[in-house]
Structure 1
Amino acid sequence: MSDIIFHKIRQTPQHLLVMLILLSFVPFNSATCFAFGTSVDKFTPVMHPDTTLRPNFSLKDVNGQTITISALKGKVVFINFWATWCQPCVQEMPSIHALKQSFNGNDSIVFLTIDVDAALPKSTAYMDDKGFHLPVYAATSAVPMELYYHSIPTSTILGKDGAIVWHYEGGKDYTSPEIRKILTDLLAGK
């Protein structure tokens, strides 16, 4: 019986249109691939950064202190959007911590981990429990879609001029030479 039904569906000209409409509701990106078991090492950045964009938004930390992205102009900025319940986020956090530690003492680079749930006490407790020295923030204004569009983890690197230099959706090992080279080149003004 099911063979007959599926055979009839395949014979109708609307089947392709229906399938395309249904697939348009599935957000397919590297984070979706990760959820379906694809290796994170096979991912490449999901967009070619538009270096003319200089996104700005506001953040606050657990103590209520606020900063804006534009106030960080002149520094290289590494931004990671994450949540404590997100398994790929949790898996990549040790490598983000190690990356930040490798630049310890360099005031020309800033690391921002942004809890997409804005559950700052919970995310700060997570960082403390794990021994990660990463500042946690929550967005207090709209985040530009070029930086974050409802897929976590998502990371972005901004150059000293505030332009998007690198953007990636999905889990990643941030101790890779590729990331370190991007950051050191930006710090050197390349």
Structure 2
Amino acid sequence: MQIGLFSPAEQTKNATIPADLSKIVFEDTKGNQVSLADLKGKIIFLNFWATWCPPCIAEMPSINKLAQLYKDDKDIVFLMVDADSDFGKSVDFMNKRQYNLPVYKAVSSVPEVIFGGSLPTTIVLDKQGRLSFKEVGAANYNSKKFTNFIEKLKALKD
């Protein structure tokens, strides 16, 4: 399944997330916790997905390619948040498809401005923690337009 409808663009206004970022916490498969506040100063690619979600599955190859493009860039962090919080299924999913994406689960409440419950949902926060991009539904993140968008965020002063 391929996805073609997608037009990334910086939002007309960078909205600062109203909630305290230090309270938004995710946990990886090893039990390490990270808050969005811990990641301030980095560009955060945050994707909410599930193994049973066809649009999530459809966009995953493009996310994997994007992550591989930036795998050595310490200023960009990928958080793939399993909406079901089932590490067994999500890790098996990633391994079976040979995706090298870090799986997390939310261990705190997540403000609706970040995730309103629709899958997949992808947001990008800039280095200041401002919401710079939000897409609800499947998209192709392995495109020149999206990598140009990421590069613009990288070029912004801290």
CA distance, structure 1, for counterparts of residue 56 and residue 112 of structure 2: 19
CA distance, structure 1, for counterparts of residue 45 and residue 79 of structure 2: 6
Offset of 1:165 from its aligned partner?
Answer: 0.4
- Alignment match, 2:116: 149
Amino acid of the residue matched to residue 52 of structure 1? Answer: T
**Residues 69-122 of structure 1: CA deviation (Å, up to 9, x unaligned):** 111000000000000000000010010000011112110000110000001121
- Alignment match, 2:142: 175
The 3 A distance-change label for structure 1 pair 49 and 91 is: farther
Offset of 1:63 from its aligned partner?
Answer: 1.3
Tell me if structure 1 keeps the 8 A contact 2:6–2:140.
no
- Alignment match, 1:51: 15
Give secondary structure in 2 for the equivalent of 1:41: coil
TM-score, scaled to structure 1:
0.74
Higher relative contact order (CA 8 A, sep 6+): 2
Offset of 1:64 from its aligned partner?
Answer: 1.1
**Unaligned regions of 5+ residues in structure 2, if any?**
none
- Alignment match, 2:133: 166
- Alignment match, 1:27: none
Q: How many residues align?
A: 151
Offset of 1:128 from its aligned partner?
Answer: 1.2
Give secondary structure in 2 for the equivalent of 1:93: helix
- Alignment match, 2:68: 101
**Residues 131-171 of structure 1: CA deviation (Å, up to 9, x unaligned):** 11100000000111011101000100000001100101000
TM-score, scaled to structure 2:
0.88
As a proportion of its length, which structure holds more strand? 2
**Unaligned regions of 5+ residues in structure 1, if any?**
1-38
Tell me if structure 2 keeps the 8 A contact 1:83–1:115.
yes
Tell me if structure 1 keeps the 8 A contact 2:49–2:80.
yes
- Alignment match, 1:114: 81
Amino acid of the residue matched to residue 112 of structure 1? Answer: L
Give secondary structure in 2 for the equivalent of 1:156: strand
Residue identity over aligned pairs, in percent, reads: 35
- Alignment match, 2:36: 69
Mark the structure with the bigger radius of gyration.
1
CA RMSD of superposed structures (Å): 2.0
CA distance, structure 1, for counterparts of residue 143 and residue 132 of structure 2: 17
Offset of 1:52 from its aligned partner?
Answer: 2.6
As a proportion of its length, which structure holds more helix? 1
